[in-house]
Amino acid sequence: MRKIKTQEEIEKKKKINQLLIGGILILLMVVSTAGYSLISRDNSNDSGGSGSSEKYGDYTFFRDQGMWGVMLDGESYYFQYLPGEVENVSVSGNFSIAQYSGKVLYLVNNNPASQDILIDFNKYFLRAQGACLNSNLNDSFDSSSCEGDLPIKTCSDNLIIFENSDNETRVWQDKNCVYISGDFLKGADAFLYRTLRIV
């Protein structure tokens, strides 16, 4: 024979069941959030199983939001590639931070690799902006080849020029112009590493 329960006992049992189910749901939410944050941290620290840090000479590189970072003189610098991954990029020129300090930096054929340079150099240059290159001062410049309302500059200004090329990735200097061709991201990192004296 079943005991007849009062309305108060039924409500009390219902409340206990609700609290128990609510507690289990809260526990599941906490555990799943903690698990997700651990997985996210592992993914942001690790790219293809390479680990959260890598040594190159005297420098220790760390993973931060999908990029490689390094501390130099108390400042953080970020790159798409490690120095060893851009060793095959041909780099010729005499690059230094002083060349950009307090000056305007002009970018010709702006692209995603430009952002890598701007992230690391923004603490040095006065400002950055797009520009068109007039490579020959003696010839008149056909401004129709310049898209947008961009200033026309020469290699007497600080220019970084991204040149489309199917050939090897390389970086070279002509006066104050730095040319990057081939794989722009690798070229930009090779240029940054040389300018910062990491390689």
- pLDDT tens, per residue, the chain with 199 residues: 667 778 888 888 888 878 777 777 777 676 666 665 555 444 444 444 445 889 999 999 999 989 999 999 899 999 999 999 999 999 999 999 888 899 999 999 888 899 999 989 888 998 899 998 886 554 444 555 677 788 899 999 999 999 888 788 999 999 999 999 999 999 999 999 999 999 8
* CA count, 13 A, side-chain hemisphere, 80: 16
Per-residue pLDDT at 135: 67
Predicted pLDDT at 39: 55
Q: Which two tokens stand for residue 171?
A: 């970086």
Task: Tell me, yes or no, if the pTM score tops 0.75.
Answer: no
User: DSSP character for 168?
Assistant: -
Torsions phi, psi of 127, nearest 5? -165, 165
CB 89 within 8 A of CB 170: yes
The pLDDT, as a whole number, for residue 183 is 94
The first and second tokens of residue 93, run together, are 């020129």
